[in-house]
Amino acid sequence: MKLHTFKIGGIHPEENKITAEVKTRNAALPKVAIFPLGQHIGAPAKPVVKRGDVVKVGTLIAEAGGFVSAPIYSSVSGTVAKIDTRIDATGYRKPVIIINVEGDEWEDSIDRSEKLESLAEHPELTPENISDIIKKSGITGMGGAGFPTFIKLCPPPTAKAECVIINGVECEPYITSDYRLMMEHAEEVIVGLQLLMKAAKVERGYIGIEENKPEAIKLLTQLTADDSRIEIVALAQKYPQGGEKQLVDAVINRQVPAPPAIPVNVGAIVQNVGTAYAVYQMVMKHKPLFERYTTVTGKKLKNPGNYLVRMGTTFAELIHACGGMPEGDNKVLAGGPMMGKSVMSLDVPVTKGTNSITILSGDEAHRKSVQPCIRCGKCVDVCPMGLEPYLLATLSANKLYERLEKEDVTSCMSCGSCQFTCPSHRPILDNILQGKGVVMGMIKARNVKK
């Protein structure tokens, strides 16, 4: 069988899926839960609680702060201790709501039963209805970028959605939270997809899964056998297949043009597995997004595993539950080794986008010494966006920003394939990101002037 995949570039990092067969456990309740107000792209949420307020699990604590924004719900019961600022996983100080945890009391509206709800049992759910509920749920893309989900469901007037693609690729090394979710809650994920399809008014649904997860492919194929609208697409293993554009290319063979085009311009709405599950939870069980599947992993970690984590739990608590930090120097990542962010403190909380906490030991984490570019072109070969990374890096380093913009630096998706592959171990992406930042600033300034 020929497996689908995206057409240009890509690499094969070592998989390291050491937690793939570790069943998901419930992480312990934190003592204090920290909720950053900016967990998504767009305006930060606005607090609706104040110091001293008593909240339950599922209580709204911050509302959307604009159109591109999402509300935040408490994952714990207790008292609001303060509204303050804290360093989050990105390393910046951001406003947060801090809640002292007392007991575990849930909002009554949440249906905590295990009973599977199917779409057929709920004829009252109209597309508008579902979109509305999703908007209220605070669900954002759960793979990292954190784009509010409901916005994708109402495409611009120039585009028409034709299908929903669920991203079950999980091409980052180490991370297994989506895989566990697919194995443990496949039915809910499928109902979630059906809900998304209904909300987007489309008749086609796909779930793209890489071939290194044959069990998940089998299970989901069986479970969707009676819904002819849904197809499970087995994909060849290649990073960064989880990138939206790469996934759309791999699954329906359509190429999303350069920004500002988005997947829906070629008819596709892409959502994460975790998002589909969260949609099910919210629409069918009235449970807003306040907990998520997170992998806590690392070769030196004593008990790596997959956890259902209340958001706001700090990395430190989860790592402690896995046997504590390994000896020596470590790099702790929010996310996987390719695109994850290394955190400066273990007191940062799990947020909507935290799919994994990956711990690399010092010798894995240290970069190799840099040599001159030998112009081998390997970075060009692997760039999934068809860019010339060596050139972008050089132009950035030489501050030639106008050229840099012409060379489409803004298309760089920060996948790191170029730097991964470079035999001279050059900090290609470091340079590109620096230059891209400046170019983005230039573009913004130009648009303001207009």
Q: Using CA atoms, how far apart are residues 357 and 322, in angstroms rounded to an integer?
A: 11
Establish whether 171 is an annotated binding residue. no
Q: What is the DSSP letter of 51?
A: T
By CB under 6 A, the count of residues binding ligand SF4 is 29
Q: Is 299 in the site for another protein (CB under 8 A)?
A: no
Q: Which of residues 363-402 bind ligand SF4 (CB under 6 A)?
A: 373-379, 383-385, 387, 389-390, 392
* 422 annotated among ligand-binding-site residues: yes
154 labelled as ligand-binding?
Answer: no
- 24 CB contacts (<8 Å, ≥6 apart)? 180, 181, 184, 293, 305, 306, 307, 308
- Chosen from another protein, ligand SF4, none, partner binding at 367 (C-beta under 5 to 8 Å by type): another protein
Under the criterion CB under 6 A, does residue 274 sit at the interface with ligand SF4?
no
6 binds ligand SF4 (CB under 6 A): no
Judged by CB, which is closer to another protein: 95, or 337? Answer: 337
Asked whether position 261 contacts another protein by CB under 8 A, the answer is: yes
Site for another protein in 156-195 (CB under 8 A): 173
- Closest separation in Å from C-beta 418 to ligand SF4: 3
Q: Which residue has the tokens 């988005």?
A: 262
Does residue 417 interact with ligand SF4 by CB under 6 A? Answer: yes
Relative to beta strand 93-101, strand 78-87 is: antiparallel
**Nearest residue (CB) to ligand SF4, 370 versus 443:** 370
Distance CA 199, CA 351 (A): 25
Is residue 257 a contact residue for another protein (CB under 8 A)?
yes
Q: Which of 93, 109, 414, 443: binder of another protein (CB under 8 A)?
A: 414
22 scored as a contact of ligand SF4 (CB under 6 A): no
Assess 440 for contact with another protein (CB under 8 A).
no
According to DSSP, residue 60 is labeled: E
* Nearest alpha-carbon partner for 232 in 257, 254, 213, 258: 213
Are 295 and 355 contacting, i.e. CB atoms less than 8 angstroms apart?
A: yes
The whole-angstrom separation of Cα 352 and Cα 138 is: 9
What angle do the packed helices 389-397 and 428-449 form, to 10 degrees?
A: 70
Rounded to the nearest whole angstrom, what is the least distance from the CB of residue 419 to ligand SF4 in the complex?
7
How far is the C-alpha of 334 from the C-alpha of 337, rounded, in Å? 9
What is the full DSSP assignment across 209-275? Answer: EETT-HHHHHHHHHHTTT-TTEEEEEE---BTTTSHHHHHHHHH-----STT--GGGGTEEEEEHHH
Identity of the residue, 116 or 440, whose beta carbon is nearer to ligand SF4 in the bound complex: 440
Stretch that binds another protein, among 111-119, 275-283, 302-310, 424-432 (CB under 8 A): 424-432
**Which residues are at the interface with ligand SF4 (CB under 6 A)?**
373-379, 383-385, 387, 389-390, 392, 412-418, 421-424, 426, 428-429, 432
